[in-house]
Amino acid sequence: MAFQKVCSKDDVWEGEMKAFTVDGTDIVVVHAPGGELRAIQSICPHQEVELADGTLEGAVLTCRMHLWQFDVLTGKGVNPDHAELALYPIKIEGDDIYVDVVGIEPKFSHA
Task: List, edge to edge, every strand of the sheet that includes 16-22.
Answer: 16-22, 25-31, 37-41, 87-88
Burial of 105 (0-12, 13-18, 19+ CB in 10 A): exposed
For residue 33, the minimal CB distance to other proteins (Å) is 20
The stretch near other proteins (CB under 8 A) out of 5-13, 24-32, 73-81, 88-96 is 73-81
Query: With binding defined as CB under 8 A, does residue 64 bind other proteins?
Result: yes
Report the site for other proteins in 76-95 (rule: CB under 8 A): 79-83
Maximum CA pair distance of the chain? 41
**Contact residues for other proteins, defined by CB under 8 A:** 46-48, 64-68, 79-83, 108, 110-111
